[in-house]
Chains A and B, each alone.
Chain A
């Protein structure tokens, strides 16, 4: 099966024209006898597929800020026996700028995991992570609890801590929380949703309560990757939506279908870290806008140890960052991808040329023969790298105007600021990307149009996939329950 890794976000890929699509699993090395380690690590546990940030649209929770990162692209639900886990050696974090200076060093939340092997599985020395039989609970109790009786079969269990960093203050705000395991199937985990609900923990925070969740969810991203990779061979030519199709946000179940695309991520899962915190904990007086990104980091080491020194030299090195969707895949050139991931967003100025002269626009123009806005894109620069056009600091952050009220899920428009009704009248939804980002937002279509420019906005260009394969939920952690390994399917909704 494809483990759609890169693919996830390498989305609009114009790979074709300029960007190299490195095959996800390519390790590359030598078959002969000299010793050669893989040249390229794909590192799925540190690979952030999506970052979401929005004011909570859960009823009555509008004063909460939601931060979500997804990692491990394209989790095949049936991938036993070990399924999918967070990496104990990776530091996962959200980094936030709340004073408008473009430096996301004001507040951060760090998550680190540990793995234990326990219970029945260890006792029986089985090479399995999870074990349980809902049909014979006397012999093998099914997994119904994350801890205590009912958790005997949870052989591989991950716990995590949450640390808040403000300036020099580091506060462990939670420890020993249990991550929700992969959804194995109904015999082992007969009521997965009830099990997963135990993994939503309340946090006691200054300024009010919050919640946290870590575990498996359905991958909320939706895109026609197959068509995209086949040289933008979309399933309608040209790939334009009708006014009615484009206006359909799937509010009514009967309307919930894709006009012409195939969601290549249907039936795949991700691992999610979701955090709910009081907005007052983050916001600074007089600063309505915040910026943030998600980061994964690993420890650096000294290649040669001095006198038996420790393996770790202590310093964490960022291996990936993600703020706005699709930046590393469609904006940044291939020779700068490693460098881009390693630097902090506040050092984005060195990559400015990619924003001013986007290759995606060039690619669209080339493939479809429709003129695109290919140069001097100060509008993209201002939208993606600044709070206000007058800013001089360029930082690639996902930005949120916290004064914009959240839109209830049922009323959300997937096209955010570009939304319209079936008659073509604008119905902008200002609470969607690029003002923050919600799982509902169709960032593929929005990106194609914003980057392509007026011709692409007017013509309603898109990949023809408008919905996730599982309905999103109105409550924390907002992403749908993951597909189970026993009965997983991959199909177009």
Chain B
């Protein structure tokens, strides 16, 4: 068990004991970034450390020898961010910030440090801040590919898609590689070009060595594209391949869990989600686990998982991560103060007009009972032509609420064409609603 798995287990246990909130503060899961070293000291065979841990240890050593080593500070900051990516532990964010700010103090326009801080801002969902940092890095080093990656990501989340496309094109013009291909894929996906997105994500997978975290991340995204296109079998085999190359990779396990749930195999889905969230208790994954528990009728487990999610929310907040969008959507889905959720999403919408914020706001507004207002947001959510079954379903539900039978039917047809098994929570409702609408509005095409 790695320290992170231990931390995850401790957290789960705390939740069970009803003590979650008390033990959770910024220091509850302090980042102790040399896992494994103590084992080597105690004796027994020297186990090679994972690469990230090992490099973190190396760089910490270098900084102990020379605290002013700016290159080491920046590298260590980037490694903490990588570690956060691998463990979903936001406690690494303040650590990353500490060393990156130190590095920036001695070289305010160093492009690598600015990229690190930009990544950190994005990770904390401070997209405006990330955009500023990315643009500053690009000014300091106009041909630095990674700077445009940050500008791309920030613009996507801010809903500035034309700017995002321009930055991604600049990025791929500078350096066609896994990072730039993956971003091109996402922009194609958002614009409804599923085939183009799949081709591009495959190129991203092929552009680096199998088994590396970035490659397997891209492979899981490829699996997700298949899943979202209703090709559950292709999705599963892609996730399996990822697990073969990077055993226990939590993103791949979560993918398999999602596919199992879509097939109705809830036991398998629960097992896989539990394993994945044990390694990396990402709020997204915990929320999906909650849904599967509900679907399986295991309400007590669902409540516990939901408590874990609330604890995660506080942990993320304590480490500077803004999870308003994610949590508000969860609340709306689970009818927990939908009006409050809609209000919070209104505030998010003022800051960033992305299709995902629009979709969440539409859904929360609908749940709060205002179908008229929800419809405008639903149209905003679909303004790029994204072929996302959940977003299409939300829009269809809202149209049905307004009695727009033709529009609702067309949208639900789209849902069922795109991916009839898109959600454990809503897939059957989509099919039922479609049938009802068929009865109401005349002939079905």
A285 at interface, CB cutoff 8 A: no
A residues within 8 A CB of B199?
311
Chain A stretch 289-346: residues in CB contact (< 8 A) with chain B: 298-305, 308, 311, 317, 319, 334-336, 338-339, 341-342
Closest to B164 in A: A303
C-alpha gap A338/B141 in the complex (Å):
9
A397 at interface by CB-CB < 8 Å: no
Complex contact A20–B141 (CB within 8 A): no
At the interface, yes or no: B115 with Cβ under 8 Å from chain A? yes
CB-CB under 8 A for A231 and B62, given A21-B75, A38-B178, A303-B187: yes
Pair A230/B65 contact, Cβ less than 8 Å: yes
Q: Is the interface of A mostly helix, strand, loop or mixed?
A: loop
Partner of A37, one of B66, B71, B174, B179: B179
A37 touches B218 (CB 8 A): yes
B interface residues, how many (CB within 8 angstroms)? 98
CB of B183 closer than 8 Å to a CB of A? yes
What 1/0 mask marks residues of chain B from 59 to 87 whose CB sits below 8 Å from any chain A CB? 10110011001111011001101101111
Which residues of the other chain, B, contact A298 by a CB distance below 8 angstroms?
175-177, 207
Closest to A343 in B: B143
Interface presence of A139 (CB below 8 A): no
B48-107 interface (Cβ within 8 A of A): 48, 51-52, 54-55, 58-59, 61-62, 65-66, 69-72, 74-75, 78-79, 81-82, 84-90
Q: Are A23 and B280 in contact (CB under 8 A)?
A: no
Q: Are B71 and A299 in contact (CB under 8 A)?
A: no
User: Does any Cβ of A come within 8 Å of B116's Cβ?
Assistant: yes
A22 to chain B, nearest CB (A): 6
A302 to chain B: which residues have CB within 8 Å?
A: 169
Cα A88 to Cα B202 with chains together (Å): 13
Most chain B CB within 10 A, of A34, A79, A87, is at A34
CA distance A299 to B203 in the complex (A): 10
Check A388 for interface membership: any CB of B closer than 8 A. no
Interface stretch (choices A41-49, A165-173, A450-458):
A41-49
Question: In the assembly, what is the distance between CA of A32 and CA of B130, in Å?
Answer: 15
Q: Identify A38's interface contact among B116, B173, B217, CB under 8 A.
A: B217
- B257 CB contacts on chain A under 8 angstroms: none
Q: Which of B216-261 contact A (CB under 8 A)?
A: 217-218, 221, 244-245
Partner of A26, one of B82, B141, B221, B282: B82
Q: Which one of B25-33, B118-126, B421-429 contacts A?
A: B118-126
Q: Which residues of B contact A304 (CB under 8 A)?
A: 165, 187-188, 191, 193
Which residues from chain B contact A338 at a C-beta distance below 8 Å? 141, 143-145, 174-175
CB distance from A493 to the nearest CB of B (A): 22
A34 to B127, CA, bound (A): 10
Distance A100 CA – B401 CA, assembled complex (angstroms): 76
Contact A3 B51 (CB under 8 A): yes
A25: chain B residues within 8 A (beta carbon): 51-52, 55, 82, 212-213
**Contact in complex: A45, B282 (CB < 8 Å):** no
A31 at the interface (CB under 8 A from B): yes
Asked whether any CB of chain A lies closer than 8 Å to the CB of B388, the reply is no
User: Which chain B residues in 296-328 approach chain A with CB under 8 Å?
Assistant: 316, 321, 323, 326
Known contacts being A2-B54, A22-B78, A30-B85, is A37 close to B176, with CB within 8 Å?
no
- Indicate if the CB atoms of A339 and B119 lie closer than 8 Å: no
Contact A20 B52 (CB under 8 A): no
Q: How far does the Cβ of B439 sit from chain A's closest Cβ, in whole Å?
A: 37
A45 touches B209 (CB 8 A): yes
Given A32-B323, A37-B183, A311-B200, residue A339 in contact with residue B188 (CB < 8 A): no
List B contacts of A43 (CB < 8 A): 177-178, 207-208
Task: Tell me the minimal C-beta distance from A455 to chain B in angstroms.
Answer: 24
- Are A31 and B282 CB-contacts (below 8 A) given A229-B62, A338-B174? yes
Contact B283 A32 (CB under 8 A): yes
Residues of B within 8 A of A30 (CB): 84-85, 119, 122-123
**B70 → A minimal CB distance (Å):** 8
* Contact of A89 with B111 in the complex, beta carbons under 8 Å: no
- Residues of the A chain whose Cβ atoms lie less than 8 Å from the Cβ of B115: 28, 39-40
Segment among B10-18, B146-154, B266-274, B340-348 that sits at the interface with chain A: B146-154
- Per-residue contact bits, chain B 261-297, to A (CB 8 Å; 1 contact, 0 not): 0000000000000000000101110000000000000
The reply on B3 being an interface residue by CB < 8 A is no
Residue A27 at the B interface, CB < 8 A?
Answer: yes
Q: Once the chains are docked, how many angstroms separate the CA of A29 from the CA of B65?
A: 28
CA distance A120 to B94 in the complex (A): 51
Q: Is the interface of B mostly helix, strand, loop or mixed?
A: helix
Answer yes or no: B36 CB below 8 A from chain A CBs.
no
Cβ–Cβ contact B214 & A27, under 8 A: yes
With A29-B85, A231-B66, A338-B175 known as contacts, the answer to whether A35 contacts B316 (CB < 8 A) is: no
A286 interface hit (Cβ, 8 Å): no
**A168–B280 Cα gap in the complex (Å)?**
55
Least CB distance from A173 to B in Å reads 26
Is B140 among interface residues, defined by CB-CB distance under 8 A? Answer: yes
Docked complex Cα distance between A23 and B206 (Å)? 21
User: Judging by beta carbons under 8 Å apart, are B111 and A335 in contact?
Assistant: yes
Chain A: minimal CB distance from B239 (Å): 14
Q: Given A31-B123, A338-B141, A38 and B200 touching (CB < 8 A)? A: no
A72 CB contacts on chain B under 8 angstroms: 209
A45 x B149 contact (CB < 8 A): no
A489 to B157, CA, bound (A): 48
The interface residues of chain B lying within 8 Å CB-to-CB of A335 are 110-111, 140-141, 144
Q: Name the CB-closest residue of A to B118.
A: A39
Do residues A87 and B125 form an inter-chain contact, with CB atoms below 8 A?
A: no
Shortest Cβ distance from residue B75 to the other chain A in the assembled complex, whole angstroms: 5
* Complex Cα spacing A30 to B69, Å: 25
Instruction: Check A27/B316 contact, CB under 8 A, given A32-B90, A34-B125, A301-B172.
Output: no
Pair B207/A41 contact, Cβ less than 8 Å: yes
Query: Would you give the shortest CB distance from B275 to chain A, in whole angstroms?
Result: 17
Chain A residues within an 8 Å CB radius of B326: 32-33
Taking a contact as CB atoms under 8 Å apart, the answer to whether B184 and A23 are in contact is no
A335: nearest chain-B partner, CB-CB: B141
CB distance from B194 to the nearest CB of A (A): 11
Residues of A within 8 A of B245 (CB): 82
A18 to B85, CA, bound (A): 28
Question: Is B182 an interface residue, CB under 8 A from the partner?
Answer: yes
Query: Which residue of A16, A31, A79 is within 8 Å of B85 (Cβ)?
Result: A31
Write the nearest CB–CB distance from B224 to chain A, whole angstroms: 9
Residues of B within 8 A of A301 (CB): 172, 176, 181, 184, 200, 203
Q: Kindly list chain A residues whose C-beta atoms are within 8 Å of the C-beta of B362.
A: none
With the chains together, A188 CA to B64 CA distance in Å? 46
Q: Which residues of B contact A299 (CB under 8 A)?
A: 176
CB contacts (< 8 Å) of A42 on chain B: these are: 208, 212, 214
Q: List 19 A-B contacts (CB under 8 A).
A: A21-B71, A25-B51, A25-B213, A26-B82, A31-B86, A31-B123, A32-B323, A40-B115, A40-B179, A41-B177, A41-B208, A41-B214, A81-B244, A89-B206, A301-B176, A303-B172, A319-B177, A334-B111, A341-B175
A28-B85, A30-B84 are known; give 10 further A-B pairs, CB within 8 A. Answer: A26-B78, A28-B81, A32-B124, A36-B122, A43-B177, A44-B208, A89-B206, A298-B207, A303-B168, A303-B183
